[in-house]
Structures are given as structure tokens and as C-alpha cells.
Amino acid sequence: MTIEGTDSSQESFDIAIVGAGFSGLYMLYKARKQGLAARVFEAGPSVGGTWYWNRYPGARVDVESHEYSYSFDAELEETWDWSERYAAQPELLRYLNHVADRYDLRRDISFETRVTAAAFDEAAHRWLITTDKGGRISARYCVMATGCLSVPKQIDIPGADTFKGEVYNTSSWPMEKVDFRGKRVGIIGTGSSAVQTITEIAPEVGSLHVFQRTPPYSIPAHNGPANPDVVRDWRANREAYRAAERENPIGIVAAVQSDRMALDTPPDERRRAYEERWARGGFAIGGVFADMLMVKEANDTFVAFVADKVREIVKDPATAELLIPKTYPAGSKRICVDTGYFQVYNRDNVTLVDISKSPVTVTPKGVRAGEREYEFDALIFALGFDAMTGALSKIDIRGRGGVTLKETWADGPRTYLGLMVAGFPNLFLVTGPGSPSVLSNMVVSIEQHVDWISDCIAALGERQMDAIEATPQAEEYWVAHVNEVANMTLYPQANSWYVGANVPGKPRVFMPYPGGVGVYRQICNDVVAKGYEGFAMSSSARP
């Protein structure tokens, strides 16, 4: 589409959306519904985002499938059956393709098109967007649906490019199945993707060496085929469950939040509570006690419980000790949800190598750790992501006065509500830093943000305005609030990707909002009820 008076080589839309994962697809659906001319730009060749790129063995969601799915259309929910309690990546990708087909979304998506720059035209109140295909796009609104975990961390291990065998990265796994049968395999990293990969390939490989710097807290998923009773119950009470999800601190009904305090609960009762949630599996553990992520001594009671579990499962006492996290509070790094992770270390072909004290180097033959060189046929890097800001920092985004987002965020990301940045009008972030995002069931948070953005654009139209931006004061207040809430919790105590600690040189700032999904939603709704408090609206027709 082109509009009169513009450069004819320049396409023009009401709204440009960057990314075609859960966020971008839903944003496109909503934009169309409200009659906006919309275009999505996606670097990958198809829809799916996270679930397109992360196809490593064992990749699966860690929130129960019926909760980790769109809620905006009851018919979509009723006509889609999940085969497992926790869907694996191929099924999640099928689901997102099904969504794209069902709402005929593909015709408005430019695939294999990476957005490289976006600059705000202050006179016209429009974003001028550039792509790696030479495209130039003008759009009133620009929505960054670029994902919190979409840019893998650069491999910073010395010698990484010297290895002569097969090399794999969990975040860009080959399309075809990799045959590890009989091979000597090494894997570096023990975060969520590594835990899933290790568990899946251990029975197949000749030998597996796991290089661990920091052990993760991992909770059993108890995965299996979808339980027909659970499905029936969810469908019968869908609206009530979805409403509860939106109010739950982490957006997961199964993580029922208790208001009991671990420290006020007698030890045997406390242990029963942990056992009960451990038996339920997954993030049910999240809400077990209200003080778990607030008070170190309360957290310690859970840490001790997990340590006992690991010692029960892992037969070799020395390996068990290495697998027990000791340097950070439980939950202050993302908890893994596994399908027999600790059990893997009882296999004769699996060896855990502690690299907490002596860093590793990669050699042409394998990996050197301490004094020893381990030789491999294949090496897997599972090093995590440049989380929350990685994708945005790769785009040359310029707001008022040509100021770049990079400069603006030099000391760490600053936003109002995780939705907008002062000085960058009409630029919306989906699950941006300063919103619950990665501390939640992300589909719940994505829907809330997209709904908010869509309502905001409608409100601008009603007021005959064509620009909205966060005020510097509101942003200042919100950044301080996020920090204040984070400092009331144990989160900042870990060197986690929540604070950017995994990426050398990244400013240490706690990025997600830990106040809870329900609380945050209420804050966003109140801002709207008060006439978009903290935002300034303007019109290009009335400068």
C-alpha cells in the first residue's frame, strides 16, 4: 500500500509490527479487527518465534499447555486439543501455524525480512522503518514484538571456533534430527534449554559430558498425555480459569498463591506443602509460601528440601553435591521444569564436570577444563540469551531529536510500564523491560500488552490524536518503582539473565517487573482510567 504525497518506493501502514511469534501474531489479529492497515516483519522464514527457532531435542513448554495458549477466542481454545500436559516444540509450532492459518494472518507478514532501523519523524508523527531487504516503510505506530529471549548470547568461550567436530547451538538447532547414537558428546551450559537437551539425548549418546558452572533448581514436570478430566474441567470453567490466570502473580492458575508464610509454618507441615507441590509438578511450586522469594530464611527451607530431593535421586554423593545449588536463592534464577533431569546422572554414560572454579576452553578435539582435555565428536552450546533487550539493541531505533534507544538505555533499560520509552512516541514494546514478562506465563502477559496497545490506539483515534508518549517523570517513577519492588525480593541476589549478568558488559539492572501479573494489570488499567496518566498525547495536525 502507498499513500499520496509519499515517496512511491515507500510502503505506508497504520501499524508496523516487528516479529511473528505469539506477540506479533496476536497484535496483527487485533490491528486488523480495529480496521488498521498492518504489516508484520519477521526475520525468520515462518511464524512461531521462540517455537520456530528453538527446536533442540526435548524442547518443550514449562507451563501447562492449556494455560500457555491464547485465550482471546473461545472457539480457538475449544477446537484445539493438546496431546500432552506440556507440549513439545513441534506441537507448539503447529499451534502457532494453525493460528496463522485460522485468521489468515500470513498475507500481512513479510518473512525473511529483518528490521534494521526505525526513526521517528517528529513532524509527521510517523515511524520510518528500514529492512535488510531494502524496504522503507512508513507507519504511524511501531510495535516491537521482537521477543524477550530471541537473541542468543554470543559464544564467549575461548577457542570456540577451533573445534573440528560437529557443533550445535540449542537456539538454532538444525531442522533435521541429529543422530547422536554412539557419539561422544559434550554440552556446555545447564540452564533450561540444556536441562531439556541433556535429559532427551542422554539415553541415545555414546557418552555425554555436561560442563556445569552453576547448577539450576529444577522441578519435575510429571509430563504425560493430556488428562481428559483436566481438559473437560478447563473447558467447562474456561472463563473462570482464564480470569484467575490474569490475576495470579505469575499468570498460572496451577501456581495457586498461598498467603501462608514458610517461617510461620511448623517444619513437618512445611515439608508436606513442598511435597504436595513437588508431586503436582512444574510451577505449582511458585505459590507455595508467600515469603519464599522475599525472605532468605524462608527460601532456605525450600533450598534444603530440594537438596534432599537431589540426594535421594542421584546415587553418587559427589555428583549429587555438585548438582545442589548453593550460591543463590531458589527462584531468583528461572526455575527449570524437567522430565527426569537428575535421574540422568545415574547413567553410566553421563558425567558431570564442575567448571565453577576453572573456566573451560574449546580445543580442536574437544573441551579443556582444568588440567584435563575431553575429546568429543559433537559439542553443544547451551549458553542462553541476551535477554529482554537483545533484539531491540540490534535495531537502530531513533526517537525525538534522533536520539538512539541504545544511548537512552546505556545504563540499562528504562520504560514506563514496560510498554513505552520517553522520547520514543508511538513505539510500543510487547513484554518490554519493566513489565512482568519473563516472570510470568508469557502468553498471558503478551495478551494483556497487545490488548492495552490496541485500546490505546483506539483511544488516540477517539481523541483525534495521532501520537502518545511516556512522560520522563512517569518513566522515572516507574523505573524507581520496579527497582524498589525488586529490592524487596531475593531476585537481585542472583547473577541471572534477569539482571543481564550472563552478558559481559551489560549494565546490571533488574529488568522484569516482579510485582505480579494481577497487580501490574490493575496498574495498567488504572493508568487508562485516569486518562492515560503518565502519557502525553498530541496531534501532528495541531502542533
Sign of CA dihedral 336, 79, 108, 469: negative
Q: Is 435 in the site for ligand FAD (CB under 6 A)?
A: no
Q: Is 12 in the site for ligand FAD (CB under 6 A)?
A: no
Q: How, if at all, do strands 38-41 and 336-338 pair?
A: unpaired
Question: Which of these ranges, 36-44, 301-309, 353-361, 486-494, lies near ligand FAD under the rule CB under 6 A?
Answer: 36-44
Q: Is 88 in the site for ligand FAD (CB under 6 A)?
A: no
Task: Mark 159-198 with x for binding to ligand FAD (rule: CB under 6 A) and - for no binding.
Answer: ----------------------------------x-----
Residue selected from 11, 14, 17, 22 as contacting ligand FAD according to rule CB under 6 A:
22
DSSP lists the bridge partners of residue 220 as 338
User: Which residues in 266-325 contact ligand FAD (CB under 6 A)?
Assistant: none
Q: Is 62 in the site for ligand FAD (CB under 6 A)?
A: yes
Q: How far is the CB of 144 from ligand FAD (least distance, A)?
A: 8
Q: Is 114 in the site for ligand FAD (CB under 6 A)?
A: yes
Set of cell numbers at residue 57: 531435542
The three-class DSSP label of residue 113 is coil
Q: Which helix (H) or strand (E) holds 140?
A: strand 136-144
Q: Is 207 in the site for ligand FAD (CB under 6 A)?
A: no
Q: Is 146 in the site for ligand FAD (CB under 6 A)?
A: yes
Environment class of 484 (CB within 10 Å of its CB; exposed 0-12, middle 13-18, buried 19+): exposed
Per the CB < 8 A criterion, the answer to whether 267 and 304 are in contact is no
Residue selected from 57, 147, 281, 423 as contacting ligand FAD according to rule CB under 6 A:
147
The set of long-range contacts for 258-263, using a CB threshold of 8 Å and a minimum separation of 24, is: 258/287, 258/288, 258/289, 258/290, 259/290, 260/289, 260/290, 261/289, 261/290, 261/291, 261/298, 262/288, 262/289, 262/291, 262/292, 262/295, 262/298, 262/301, 262/302, 263/291, 263/295, 263/297, 263/298, 263/301
Question: Which of these ranges, 21-29, 134-142, 199-207, 495-503, lies near ligand FAD under the rule CB under 6 A?
Answer: 21-29
Q: Is 18 in the site for ligand FAD (CB under 6 A)?
A: yes
- Closer of 339 and 431 to ligand FAD (Cβ): 431
Q: Is 391 in the site for ligand FAD (CB under 6 A)?
A: yes
Contacts of 222 (CB under 8 A, 6+ apart): 85, 279, 280, 281, 282
Q: Is 23 in the site for ligand FAD (CB under 6 A)?
A: yes
Q: Which residues of this protein are in contact with ligand FAD, per CB under 6 A?
A: 18-24, 41-44, 49-50, 52, 54, 59, 61-63, 68, 114-115, 145-150, 193, 391, 395, 430-431, 441-442, 446
